[in-house]
Chain A
Amino acid sequence: MGLIASFGKYLLFIADVFRKPERRSVMYKLVIKEIYELGFKSLLFVVFVSLFVGAVVTLQTAANMHGSWMPRYLIGFATRDAILLEFSPTIISLLLAGKIGSNIASSIGTMRVTEQIDALEVMGVNPVTYLVRPKIFALMFFNPLLICLSMFGGVIGGWISGTLSGECTSAEYITGIQYDFIPFKAIYAIIKTILFAFIIASVSSFHGFYTQGGALEVGRSSTRAVVFSSVFIIVTNYILTQLLLN
């Protein structure tokens, strides 16, 4: 019953996000600021993780192909598909749910417990539109770019580790990543990313917004935001894969 009530509250919260903002010009500035704060500041982290995971995926694929009749270019092919279909859109989104989600929940939660949200409300500013909408828009816009960069980083990481370890030649790897490429897979990944970005921003904001109490509760909201965002991402991933790929 509690979960259903919370879900209903979440839907009403989302409806509030799409109300008309007080000032459009202010909203544009806020979206730009959030793109920088939430998206741009995650660039290095995403590239770093992607490079290494791409490298590991390549080495593991190569290890599983040892002594088999399969051509070596399949190492590049498997790395590309693993990164494109699952690693970049899903795993990076899960990592971002931790990094960005906790940031959103704790910043909004702190605003709640220090009465800053009450101050907005008293001034006649809709706090949901003002605080949450720019975060959702910024992430839905910037996360696909981050994920594309992650895909690129993962493939490059795989190429570096594959060629450095001698598991495949540069030509074999490049042939592999071009082999049987279906553009829809990239579209599928982007669709997933946009939805996951919405989940991260909205679920985390929801938990931060309804924080009650003090610093301890802000921490709890932050944890709940990461857990619920991750669970929603995993479930949505399954549903989307079923709908779009099968």
Chain B
Amino acid sequence: MIEIKNIEKSFADKKVLKDVSFTFEKGKTNLVIGQSGSGKTVLLKCLLGLHVPEGGIINFDGADIVGKSNKNLKYLRKQIGMVFQGGALFDSMNVEENVLFPLQMFSTMSKEEMLQRANFCLQRVNLENVNHLFPSEISGGMKKRVAIARAIVLNPRYLFCDEPNSGLDPYTAILIDNLLQEITHEYGMTTVINTHDMNSVMEIGEKVLFIREGKNVWEGTKSDIITSENQYLQDFVFSSELFKTIKRFHK
């Protein structure tokens, strides 16, 4: 479980996060939604320790990480898996080497065990026979899956994803969403997903935080969204004709 309380973050004169509090629950897919520029990525980077908030508390199962040095964060970082928006796969390494990388850096496994584990993770994300391809040789959806395999290879307790299905076709996007949810349940991880894809919200939003202009304006589950009276949330979620129709049909 990750608990954040009264998080504040500014860049120069601009306040990006204003008093944000929320609890990301263990074993659930926790989604952070909001428009572009609402502060989702900044919040995620604060959780990862890449940005230091000016105020507030970030508790990873009781351990506050705000203001901790890189050295002190090292232990925690080994328990974190991260899927970046573009995958952030290492260009100079092939698929297998990318997945093996965290194991080579931090595990005490033998070469064979590492290879076994990497192949298991690749199979888990439904990737086979791509081990020796380079990131430039695979599709966007495959890159995301390799990034997920790399993120889970060390059995992390926390999984973070920054817009994991951006730039993907709806079918592949749903596959990725379902994969993330399955993995979260299977390993009992605390998963935090940044998205502005409403399909994802309705598909896997077990707990949802809606951020607007750096503020927490709504929280609930995917089923609460339809019945919510929050106008900002309604405007954001039901901005497309498709979702407006679904809402009318639901009523």
Contact = CB atoms under 8 A, between A and B. Distances in A.
Given A114-B86, A115-B85, A118-B50, A123 B70 contact: no
Contact of B88 (A22, A23, A118, A126): A118
B232 interface: no
Contacts of B239: none
Nearest to A16: B70
B84 A123 contact: no
Contacts of B48: 122
Contacts of A123: 77-78, 80, 82, 101-102, 105-106
A114 B88 CA distance: 6
A125 interface: yes
Interface in A109-165: 110-111, 114-116, 118-119, 121-126
A26 B106 CA distance: 11
B73 interface: yes
A116 B80 CA distance: 16
A127 to B, nearest CB: 10
* Interface SS of A by simple majority: helix
Interface in B47-96: 48, 50, 70, 73-74, 77-78, 80, 82, 84-86, 88-91
B50 A22 contact: no
Contacts of B70: 121, 126
A24 to B, nearest CB: 12
A111 B106 CA distance: 21
Contact of A116 (B85, B88, B102, B104): B88
Nearest to A110: B91
B88 A115 contact: yes
A124 B82 contact: no
B9 to A, nearest CB: 17
A119 B160 CA distance: 11
A111 B70 CA distance: 20
Interface residues of B, number: 22
A116 B89 CA distance: 6
Contact of A122 (B50, B90, B104, B106): B50
Nearest to A21: B105
Contacts of A124: 73-74, 77-78, 105-106
A115 B86 contact: yes
B104 A26 contact: yes
B196 to A, nearest CB: 18
Nearest to A126: B70
Given A122-B48, A123-B77, A124-B77, A115 B105 contact: no
B77 A122 contact: yes
A116 to B, nearest CB: 5
Nearest to A113: B86
Contact of B105 (A22, A110, A116, A122): A22
A118 B74 CA distance: 14
B91 A116 contact: yes
Interface string B90-123: 1100000000011011100000000000000000
A121 B74 CA distance: 9
A23 B78 contact: no
B158 to A, nearest CB: 11
Contacts of A116: 88-91
Contacts of B86: 114-115
Which has the most chain B C-beta neighbours within 10 Å: A115, A119, A126?
A119
A121 B50 contact: yes
Contacts of B50: 118, 121-122
Contacts of B104: 23, 26
A111 B74 CA distance: 21
19 contacts: A114-B86, A114-B88, A115-B85, A115-B86, A116-B88, A118-B88, A119-B82, A121-B50, A121-B70, A122-B50, A122-B77, A122-B82, A123-B77, A123-B82, A123-B101, A124-B74, A124-B106, A125-B105, A126-B70
Given A124-B74, A124-B78, A124-B106, 4 more contacts: A111-B90, A115-B88, A118-B84, A123-B78
Interface of B: 48, 50, 70, 73-74, 77-78, 80, 82, 84-86, 88-91, 101-102, 104-106, 160
Interface of A: 22-23, 26, 110-111, 114-116, 118-119, 121-126
